[in-house]
């Protein structure tokens, strides 16, 4: 059976060193083929996504010690119990079982593999998706906290520190757009369009930005950022780092500056978060998570509009339940209609 799958997935494949000794090479080859075909190669974290999927499936088959065609519903339940004993969160368990399910659906979609794999063993025992929640680590910042954080990074950016100038521009984009961690960090110069705004002084010109990038789910979303403060900060950073005139559409927007201020490798989100924690500590924020910028964005949208749907649209959520993680309650709904209705119906004052 294993040889049959190996011949279908990777003809002529040779044995390879396995981290999981109980997973035959044919199963590993099948898992890797599925992980690669089900992941977006244009994603900046494509390699990490593929490796994560492979690790989950190999962990499962290493524990079960069975050929994919021999796995039963009882095996899935046994693996769930094993994960619970390892103190895995319910959301993690759901993700693991979902990956296993997706792998089986992929195999069954192939006429050749369907002859070997006859059913998806997760169908009847797959756990329900856990309800989303807002943890302390990701709750929205208050207005005062957000103002203080931005002010602190801006203060650092006013020096000749290129890292601080970069961090200030990035932080503004996070707060003003509500974009996700990797969406901002993986931006390329070709993803943005800048329309110059005439400066009021000798400072670097501000810019209205159009940002187009691939978001969670694979769609390309284009945002207009009319507040010129982020564009101005971005231009200040690119000019100060002597990168503006050398940028190409494929140039990473954010880079390291470890060698006498010269641009280096593309900046990782982990490096930015490390800096963000430093700025937060300087204003007395002992715990901060980058995703809090997105929560803060959603909270302010909901407060200003009084509309849950406005927050959902701004976040780009298709599922209202996902938005409820960000918006716990609505502020007072703004009155945009009573005057118009009273005037039209000739209500007496």
Report the 10 Å Cβ neighbour count for 12: 6
Q: At what angle do helices 292-305 and 162-177 cross, to 10 degrees?
A: 40
Is the pLDDT reported for residue 61 higher than 90? Answer: yes
Same domain, 67 and 190: no
CA dist 77 and 85 (Å) reads 12
Instruction: Tell me, yes or no, whether 59 lies in a domain.
Output: yes
Q: What is the pLDDT of residues 160-183, one digit of tens each?
A: 789 999 999 999 999 988 888 888
* Mean predicted confidence (pLDDT) in 145-155: 94
pLDDT band (50, 70, 90) for residue 285 = very high
Instruction: Tell me, yes or no, whether 200 lies in a domain.
Output: yes
Same domain, 46 and 172: no
Domain ranges, residue 6? 2-114
CA dist 109 and 114 (Å) reads 7
Q: What is the pLDDT of residues 69-117, one digit of tens each?
A: 999 999 999 999 999 998 887 878 888 999 999 999 999 998 888 888 8
Instruction: Tell me, yes or no, whether 226 lies in a domain.
Output: yes
pLDDT value of position 335: 61
pLDDT value of position 2: 41
Instruction: Tell me, yes or no, whether 222 lies in a domain.
Output: yes
Same domain, 90 and 167: no
DSSP state of 145: H
pLDDT value of position 319: 66
pLDDT value of position 18: 44
Distance of alpha carbon 204 from the chain centroid: 31
pLDDT value of position 333: 57
Instruction: Tell me, yes or no, whether 296 lies in a domain.
Output: yes
Is the pLDDT reported for residue 203 higher than 70? Answer: no
Distance of alpha carbon 23 from the chain centroid: 31
Instruction: Tell me, yes or no, whether 346 lies in a domain.
Output: no
The pTM for the full model equals 0.57
Q: How far is CA 82 from CA 64, 86, 96, in A?
A: 10, 6, 12
CA dist 260 and 335 (Å) reads 55
Lowest mean pLDDT among 38-42, 91-95, 212-216, 274-278: 212-216
pLDDT band (50, 70, 90) for residue 209 = confident
Same domain, 216 and 143: yes
pLDDT band (50, 70, 90) for residue 336 = low
Give the count of domains, the chain: 2
Q: Which residue has the higher pLDDT, 163 or 221?
A: 163
Same domain, 264 and 208: yes
Instruction: Tell me, yes or no, whether 239 lies in a domain.
Output: yes
Q: How far is CA 151 from CA 52, 144, 154, 202, in A?
A: 38, 10, 5, 21
Q: At what angle do helices 143-157 and 269-282 cross, to 10 degrees?
A: 110
């Amino acid at each position: 059976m294993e040889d049959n799958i190996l011949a279908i997935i990777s003809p002529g494949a040779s044995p390879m060193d396995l981290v999981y000794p109980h997973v035959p090479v044919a199963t590993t080859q099948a898992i890797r083929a599925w992980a690669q075909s089900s992941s977006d190669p244009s994603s900046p974290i494509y390699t990490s996504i593929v490796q994560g999927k492979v690790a989950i499936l190999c962990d499962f088959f290493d524990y079960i010690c069975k050929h994919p065609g021999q796995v039963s519903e009882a095996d899935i339940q046994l693996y769930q119990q094993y994960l619970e004993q390892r103190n895995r969160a319910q959301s993690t368990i759901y993700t693991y079982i979902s990956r296993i399910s997706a792998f089986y659906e992929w195999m069954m979609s192939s006429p050749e593999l369907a002859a070997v794999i006859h059913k998806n063993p997760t169908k009847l025992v797959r756990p329900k998706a856990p309800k989303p929640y807002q943890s302390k680590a990701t709750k929205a910042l208050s207005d005062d906290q957000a103002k203080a954080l931005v002010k602190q990074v801006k203060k650092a950016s006013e020096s000749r520190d290129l890292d601080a100038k970069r961090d200030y521009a990035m932080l503004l984009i996070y707060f003003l757009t509500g974009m996700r961690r990797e969406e901002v960090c993986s931006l390329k110069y070709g993803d943005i369009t800048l329309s110059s705004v005439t400066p009021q002084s000798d400072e670097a010109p501000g810019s209205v930005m159009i940002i187009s990038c691939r978001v969670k789910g694979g769609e390309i979303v284009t945002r207009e950022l009319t507040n010129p403060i982020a564009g101005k900060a971005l231009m200040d950073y690119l000019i100060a780092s002597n990168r503006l005139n050398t940028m190409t559409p494929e140039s990473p927007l954010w880079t390291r500056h470890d060698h006498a201020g010269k641009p280096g490798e593309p900046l990782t989100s982990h490096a930015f978060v490390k800096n963000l924690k430093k700025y937060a500590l300087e204003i007395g924020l002992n715990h901060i998570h980058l995703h809090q910028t997105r929560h803060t964005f959603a909270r302010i949208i909901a407060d200003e509009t009084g509309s849950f749907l406005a927050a959902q649209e701004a976040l780009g959520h298709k599922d209202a339940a996902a938005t409820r993680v960000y918006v716990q309650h609505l502020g007072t709904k703004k009155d945009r209609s009573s005057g118009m209705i009273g005037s039209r119906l000739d209500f007496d004052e």
